[in-house]
Chain A
Amino acid sequence: MRKIIATYLVLAFLSFVCAKQLMAETYFKAIFLTPERALEKWGRRPFNSEEFKNSSSTKRGAMAVDIILTKHFLGKSILADVRRELGTPDNYFFSDTIIAYEIEPPNKNEEESWELVFIPDKTLKFVKEVKIHKRCCYSQPSWAK
């Protein structure tokens, strides 16, 4: 019975943590930041291609918010437009066919980092959606070990 109570407490704590995570858009493997929360976090700065390419990832957050709010890249070509305006991607999301740009690097404890993800349409040629993804702390699933 003691084990059950202990497990209950652990699971209750976990449910609290999970509820907290609902502040962002969540699903099983990924956490996305809503545009409202992103605006709160980084503020907004007009997107400038050269500035984005040349600035360190720490300065990209506010421009990333602008990209999402203005829907600047929606429907545009990933190869001809996104890569030309933002440069070579830093990362990818889920599969390396889905490119991502770091907008906040991992902190000292490597607890979390954020990236701007360009979700393609079915042809993989055009941008269907742009989202801010939390890249962090996903543990290796048992079936992938």
Chain B
Amino acid sequence: MIEVRNNRYLVAKYNSQYTIDQMVFLNLFFSLIVSVSFGNTCSKWFKDTKIKSKTKDCEQKCLLAEVDFSTFLCRLECVNHCAGYIKEQNISIYAYYPGLTPKELALIEKHNKEAVIVFIQKEVAEFKAHNIFNQNRMNGEEDAIRHYLWAGLLVNHLGPELAKNFLDAHEANPSQPEDEKSMDLANNRAGILAGQKLMNEKSFNLDKLVEMGLSELNNGSLSVLKPQIPKESPL
């Protein structure tokens, strides 16, 4: 149950400072703020789905209801709308994030638990790459290292074969020009090899992967379509 996990996490984190009563008060207050801030959008969304709350299949229907960009995360509120708890097996519904290619959708259907990992590692790679470069995100060094890190991280979590399947499926975007696709695929390949190397050495960690990625970027092994860092000032 997500709710229980969250509460455990909160209690574990703040146990030394707050009593349970205080925690309950803070949780209620914070929930109020969240519902004031985002409640209208999600309440309207739930109303529009015409799902009856307090019915057995409410949760299932709510999690599968159609969402768009403004309501994507409203599914997290299904627990409130249905007056129940989200079962652990339904967490995989969050693997279906916006902008997935048809091939990714097919792969997620087959490997929905792994797909959640794919999404989380995508976010990790994105934040890490952006923290390093703080650039515009398309076709530059940040883009190259993001693909490299995502690939390496997926190898660590899923093994090279499934990692490659997910990465290739992501590149099956009909609206992506061939040169950009080639860049992404080349950097994915480099990331997979780096991930495998670190795994074989039993020394995988994100910092080492970043170090290897930056070194490959400096020596020109990674593909960058629109370099934004002058060659005379390496990283």
Contact = CB atoms under 8 A, between A and B. Distances in A.
A61 interface: no
Interface string B113-142: 000000010111001000000001111000
Contacts of B22: 3-4
A114 interface: no
Interface in A89-110: 89-92, 94-99, 102
B215 to A, nearest CB: 23
A79 B99 contact: no
Contact of B99 (A28, A91, A97): A97
A95 B175 CA distance: 13
Nearest to A133: B69
B110 to A, nearest CB: 19
A145 B176 CA distance: 29
A124 B176 CA distance: 10
Given A3-B22, A19-B37, A123 B102 contact: yes
A133 to B, nearest CB: 9
Nearest to A89: B138
Q: Is the interface of A mostly helix, strand, loop or mixed?
A: mixed
B83 interface: no
B182 to A, nearest CB: 14
Interface residues of B, number: 43
A30 B37 contact: no
Contacts, number: 114
B98 interface: yes
Interface string B3-32: 000000000000001100010011001101
B175 A125 contact: yes
A32 interface: yes
25 contacts: A4-B22, A4-B25, A15-B32, A19-B36, A26-B37, A26-B38, A26-B41, A28-B73, A28-B76, A77-B175, A78-B175, A94-B97, A95-B97, A97-B170, A97-B173, A99-B138, A99-B175, A120-B175, A123-B174, A124-B102, A124-B174, A129-B69, A131-B69, A143-B120, A144-B120
A108 to B, nearest CB: 14
Contacts of B138: 88-92, 96, 99
A5 to B, nearest CB: 11
Interface of A: 3-4, 7-8, 11, 14-15, 18-19, 21-22, 25-30, 32, 77-79, 83, 88-92, 94-99, 102, 119-120, 123-125, 129, 131, 140-141, 143-145
Contacts of B37: 15, 18-19, 21-22, 26
Nearest to B42: A27
B100 interface: yes
A83 B177 contact: yes
Interface string B26-52: 100110110011100100000000000
Given A8-B29, A27-B71, A144-B127, A15 B174 contact: no
A21 B101 CA distance: 32
Contacts of B85: none
